[in-house]
Chains A and B, each alone.
Chain A
Amino acid sequence: MNDEKTKETGGFFEGIASFFRRDLVSYIIKRILAIFPSLLLISFVIFVVIQLPPGDYVSAYIAKLTGQGEQMPPEVIEQLRADFDLDKPFMLQYWSWIKGIIWTPSNTTWYRLYGSHHNWKYSFSEGKPVWTVIREYLPLTVGLTLAVMIFQYLVSIPLAVYSATHQYSLGDYLLSFIGFIGAAVPGFILAIICMILAYKWTGNPLVGLFSKEMLENGVHWGNIGEFLKRLIIPFIVLGLGGTCGTIRSIRAQMLDEISQPYTLTARAKGVSETKIIWKYCFRAAINPTVTGLGTSLSHLFSGSTVSAMVLNIMIMGPVLYDALLSQDMYLAGAIVMVQAFLVEVGILLADIGLAFLDPRIRFSGGSR
């Protein structure tokens, strides 16, 4: 045991070697298994929420058809309601929903129709199975969210460390000021302001990620400049809040660590300033930021919902809004479910990263 402890304080490569040791692996497995019960609970909460609106989408659909002057025989309506389990009691509906998502056997109509073992039900408003809709928007959603997150950390870490090592300098004050504004201005308001500024300066509000030409030919070398230009506003709007939060948190932690006695000792022993800051202080200071990975992912999904609508970026947020308006409840439920799943994965990654950063976590189990 003692031997192992000394190893952990060793070099970076030994750190990686110890990463794969048995205690950590068993910890990771335990954490992965713990996801499933919470996902089940989340799915229940989501199902309750999507069942709350008065009426159901078969009635909404029929009302729409009647509005267009079509009449539906009562048997068809009954059949439709039965197809979507709407005639069953609540718990059975939930059970059929969740069972279909986990595994749909090959002898069901669903499998024969769509060839999928995971029945997320049918989206009326899109006229496709829910999962097909989700798969359309998932790559852009995940890609954009990840890119914004990486951008957040790439920008905020150097700025936070600069701010902490140059406390009370002009740059520090400037960053703190921007940080406060960025954390306070709601994303969608920032989006409106950015669009107006873009329109005033360039004559083009730069709405949407892809121009008409890109939608036709895809993104290639010829229009990559235009594409990158269109990325600026979404990155600012989606990333500013998180960046400011991260800067504030790392700066405060760094200031704490820099004033610790061990820093003084290291300095007295002649360790280089770069090493003190990046190897010791930074490693300790980044701890809460890593813990907040899942939360910041959740904030990103949350913040991007309305901003993406303003900026007309077709990620899951706007689709969720449309689904909610048209009472397409299974689509809405599936989107919230996928987002919650991604957040859970984020929390899991945070826990693993934390276990890697901080050996104490591995033995006491998890950040939460």
Chain B
Amino acid sequence: MAKKVQSNESYYVASQWQLMGRKLKQHKLARISMVILGILYFFALLGNFIAPYGTIEFDSIYKDCSPTKIHMYHEGEKVGPFVYKLSKISDKKTLRVTISEDTKEYYPIHFFTHGEPYKVLGFIPCDLHLFGVSEGSNGGKGARIYLFGGDSLGRDIFSRIFLGSQISLTIPFVAAAISLFLGVLLGAVSGYFGGRVDFIIQRIIEVISAVPQIPLWLALSAAIPPGISTIQIYFYMTIILSFINWTGMARTVRGKFLSLKNEDFILAAQLSGVSTWNIIWTHMVPGFMSYLIVSVTRSIPSSIIGETSMSYLGLGIKPPATSWGVMLQETSSVTNIVSHPNKLIPIIFVTVTVLAFNFFGDGLRDAADPYK
């Protein structure tokens, strides 16, 4: 009995956010999605460390190779996890050159090896990688470990997935942040002031949402000037993606403002001389922040698809940088894919991320709904 009272009490004194958090924990799919997304973002953060190679490191022998086999026994003797080097072997009779494993020498896999230098968080120089192969048993060089195989230029798909995720997973987030800002600002102005301002902003929203999204994105990304740095392209892409997404946000905000505007506490604040800006940011916005977070989360999957499609078509991220969309360019030839199915691995990552964001968004929506 005492326990029940206690738990009731903790329910009554909990803030809205705590209540939301509790409900979210009960949503099984949302919880699983949260874990998956957490792992994906964690890996993206450590991308350079996990990836054994850089985005443009290549070896033409490893062109279109299938995932590197990891062996345990060399000539019947257990020597721990190691790989063989790929090399060209010509058939003595037919002189046909094939690429296969050279089993003369083995290359043990080491953890925490030194390799391609990179910068942690953009400024701390480092060259430590989670794993890698360096020297062979007889001091040979040139073996590589491509866990997901190589692409058509002989680059490591595994490394490129994690390095690409740094772009593919963050662009939607930055775009969501920009559209959140724009949406709240314009929606608030529209809903709070009403009248002519409201009319104009509403027409703009209507017009933007009447134009089909991806054609508009394509048209806008055609405007990205050529020959600019990756950071600038990144910046342009976030702006383009948020150019459409803010409209939904502004609609939500405006609706909430219209309903909150006539509440007594707003009148009280106005009478006590609180400035308009303060009323909006300290009294109104917290009132519907949870709805906003939900609508931001639910806008992320379409941004991911947008970035992927733009980069897939070559209108987005360009080499030397990479993203999942750029990697999918490899899948344009069906016959190539059928013989190298490992090139489809980026698709799994895109799909899992989009699914996880969808489930997470649904869970958030249910959690933010006080009537459920």
Contacts and interface: CB of A to CB of B under 8 A. Distances in A.
Interface of A: 38, 41-42, 45-46, 49-50, 52-54, 180-181, 183-186, 188-189, 192-193, 195-196, 199-200, 205, 207, 294, 298-299, 301-303, 305-306, 309-310, 317, 320-321, 324-325, 327, 332, 335-336, 339-340, 343-344, 347, 368
Contact of B218 (A52, A189, A196, A320): A320
B99 interface: no
B214 A184 contact: no
For B213, B215, B216, B222, the residue with the greatest tally of chain A CB atoms inside 10 Å of its CB is B215
A186 B346 CA distance: 13
B215 A192 contact: no
B215 A305 contact: yes
A72 B24 CA distance: 67
A58 B309 CA distance: 29
**Chain B interface helix/strand/loop/mixed:** helix
Nearest to B355: A184
Contacts of B206: 38, 368
Contacts of A186: 305, 308-309, 350-351, 354
For A50, A183, A306, the residue with the greatest tally of chain B CB atoms inside 10 Å of its CB is A306
A61 to B, nearest CB: 16
**Chain A interface helix/strand/loop/mixed:** helix
20 contacts: A38-B210, A42-B210, A46-B219, A49-B216, A49-B223, A180-B359, A183-B358, A184-B301, A184-B358, A185-B354, A186-B309, A193-B344, A196-B344, A199-B334, A207-B334, A302-B213, A302-B214, A305-B309, A320-B218, A335-B215
Interface string B191-224: 0000000000001101111111111101110110
Contacts of A180: 355, 358-359
In the A-B complex, the 4 residue pairs with the smallest Cβ-Cβ separation, listed nearest first, are: A52-B223, A301-B212, A324-B222, A302-B214
Nearest to B211: A340
A305 B211 contact: no
Interface in B315-368: 315, 328, 331-332, 334-335, 337-338, 344, 347, 350-351, 354-355, 358-359
A354 B206 CA distance: 19
Given A180-B355, A192-B337, A199-B335, A306 B210 contact: no
A306 B309 contact: yes
Contacts of A183: 358
B162 interface: no
Contacts of B222: 52-53, 324-325, 327, 332
Interface string B290-324: 00000000000100010011001101000000000
B219 A336 contact: yes
Given A49-B219, A306-B309, A324-B222, A185 B211 contact: no
B211 A181 contact: no
A321 B309 CA distance: 12
B225 interface: yes
Given A185-B354, A205-B334, A344 B210 contact: yes
Contact of A50 (B204, B219, B313): B219
